[in-house]
Structure 1
């Protein structure tokens, strides 16, 4: 296994093959597409479809943008390149009817990215040069930087390193001038690819590490760059160092839900371990197979099966080698070359030879049994003993499996019981709140009103006593108002009588009324009534979150959105405050309360924040 032919050098998806999107003075709804891009693809599809439904047949620019973003969602979220290109084709028909050089350049850049991912480099280069032609006046330097970088990246694949370096240097200078750190990181990673293709390994590692330094301040997936460092060490023959980088890349890829990168790393680790004659290579290659099957990564699957077949062949396990070569053939999209067919035939011959040798040995054994009855009897006893041992092992296996299943059921029962207990505690708490609220409103509140009425009915002539009486009446009025306010907070009448939307409007209006925070609340297709536990939980969570914003965020603006999409109710709460470290605060009492409440209604909460930036919180609750 000394060949590095199957090491995956991650250039196609490496680092930053950007599909870029120009900003224009779009109406508010179109602005939402850019706002939710790479954050929430469900929201992108919702707003794109909303634009298509609300625009007329002559609004080609708006329809083109909607179709383009639907294509981006197919490409980024689903990896469905053909669907993405089809949607781009529809977008192109609209943009051509209402020409806009920036939008056409953006679209052709996205065409190029799809072609590059599919290894159609000639067409990819054609698309990128078309995008570059539309930007001849450099109408947007940011997009031009990306197009130049993508041209350089494709030229690397086409084995034109000198031309590639020229375009990458132009892109790098533009990104530095624009102070665009993420673009700089992408270009540095691509330059690392260039120097790796030249086998200038030290310079390649230097560029990759510079790229990681620019990526570090941002919460982005850097697994491909880390993996490429491992590939360089792999090429150098420093396999232990390469494996260490592959493992680091897997951890990052899993953190950012990037199964493609993780699968490629497992494939490379398997190749390295096989080179070291380490039997753990099989486990790593099988992990690559499982990830590839789950995510339709046929190219990874193809090479994993070939590596497994080669490994088993060297181990003289011809049956498994043959099995994996057949799987390799099944997933191959090219004609198997003559050399591979020879290997397959050789494996067939060796496997058949081994089977014949086994038959001859069995026949010889049978002859010996016929010639020696004593030996036959002894062998029968051995067979019976082995069978009993096998049955005993089978029994132990099923016993252990039964125990494990029972333990799993018990654990599930405990979890279910805890969930029911938590739900019961929350419901009991709400019922107690409702009871106290009613007692305050109907009991203490009414008594205070009665006392005030009786006090006001008293006829007092003395001026000093009259003033004292007036002061006591004012105290009683304020006390009654506070009682009503407390009663309303414990169980808001608007939530019971009118529903979630009016209750939230009332909550935000009253909570932020005496602060300097500007709050906006938008809702889309969410005006209906929902089950009581959903309305109540979402209301309580909103109370907790806005109280945290007032106390800790030092924010000046809060934006709340509530919308229904695909049988889900989604709420986003965004503030421009100082943010917080999600990892450090995740075990805090307030966040645990929110987590407990959202889990009782099978929902999910996500936090996007750090100690130096704004905070975006997304709540998602299933309605079925």
Structure 2
């Protein structure tokens, strides 16, 4: 499944980014040829596309630099990067053209092409060189560069989706699901420009979530998301989408041993790849070989495995499947020498894959350590720089305080000199001047104190307002978070209830289908056989002359007739004939009348005007009442029993009452059994209520159902014709 993931991301990214750029740049001049992803296996086509785009780039490079020519140059570099991204054996050229696009777009302040170039480089490190830390950094850089407006939602979607894929590879599944959900939210905001692209993105998201659950071993969750992706294929025009979804489903079912379903999707994927893949590529042959080996079809398993071995450069994963298939087939055929040879090759390829995986993990760990070291050094440098800035600010404040103190000292000194000169000049006014001076000093001290108090009060109010705002924001955040948790819990409960109701419906529908089939088989096959046996016994009785033989045949004929009658009654109970025509009332009346008079005598009562319900509802009501009648016959040991239909204006009430053992059956250790549980399941399915009251006087079972709003009074059904 992993070997198709990188190619799938390449095709989706190519389609999404190419269409988006063409949509967002409608007036930049002559259009650049679009790359057709389904022709990426055609070397001549790829070579001609590269040559045309390079010639276009060379002509633009010689023209004067304008915003229009810059955009065309960026488009050429972007298309070349896309082309080498999907060109097998030429992916290293992507590194050159991607870096050139990022450099030129950054120099010319074009953020759109800068982040898209980073995404192309991220795809190279994620799917080509397998440098997970570098791919992570590029995605995080893109998310930090783009503004929050809707124009960059496509880029935001790709970065979040790639982060989910990278965290999935590192088995950090919680983070993988988190970033995948962020990508889904971008689509939900309806910011993607075309419906076809939106559908492709939703398909890829479902496949991505399915692969995460598959890695965790959660088959049902994985199958649910893959099947949801399949259901959206009818709205896509990309054949590659079909191939990838069918491949994922085939490998999922193969992994868990569902070979029939795996073969179904494996053949569908092969048909798609035959149309769009080149001759030298595998078309799902390894998976088909493993499926046929699991089904025991050795001939087809060997045929598909040999097709893989005849490829010039088969993928290691496909080669592993082929050798394992050949080893299992040879072992099943007891060809031990050939089995040993294929087993050694299988182990060699498997060990090579495991060695590559461990090497990639080790490389990822080493590069992650380097990244963590650089991040730590950067953080320490930032902290040191911040500390230096704080020190400089403090020194600046200290110098300012010293300057203010010196200015104040000089001012006071000049003021004192002036006062002395005035005292020398006007001795007569010395006392008055001293008093005025003292008064001014006191006023200044008072004003300074008032100002300091006002400043302190203002600081206290600012601090109080900041703390209050912070507490309010925290409270609002907690409230929003708790509301979101409650909403998620409610959604989960709703989905669980819906799935449980759907499961109950399937169980009941399967039971009804099986009852109908059994009734038809009993009536058509065994009924005819008993009738033939009765006729043959009658004919043979005429041929026997002695009295003993006549008596033996006379004893056998009533037994055969009783068996035929019992068979007709059983078939009638399994599926009443013409139930849709006669309705619930007459079907129940037939059921009650067909019961033997001993040991329990049944009566049937109807009150009110009959109202028909949907056929499915009436059939389930009939099954519940039939089960209660059987319980009376089996367990109640009653002398009398009654079945009543009470038609009210807004509901129908059905009661089954007997004078049997009642609660004494429970005291004797007899539990209601599976019949009552099935009846409650049917009642819940149709929205009815069923309750049972057992006492020493007997047992009362009440079944109530409200009439649906859209049900009208139908014509009164005719009684059934007697057989």
Give yes or no for TM over 0.5.
no
Q: Which has the higher contact order (CA 8 A, sep 6+)?
A: 1
In the superposition, the TM-score normalised over structure 2's length comes to 0.32
In the superposition, the TM-score normalised over structure 1's length comes to 0.36
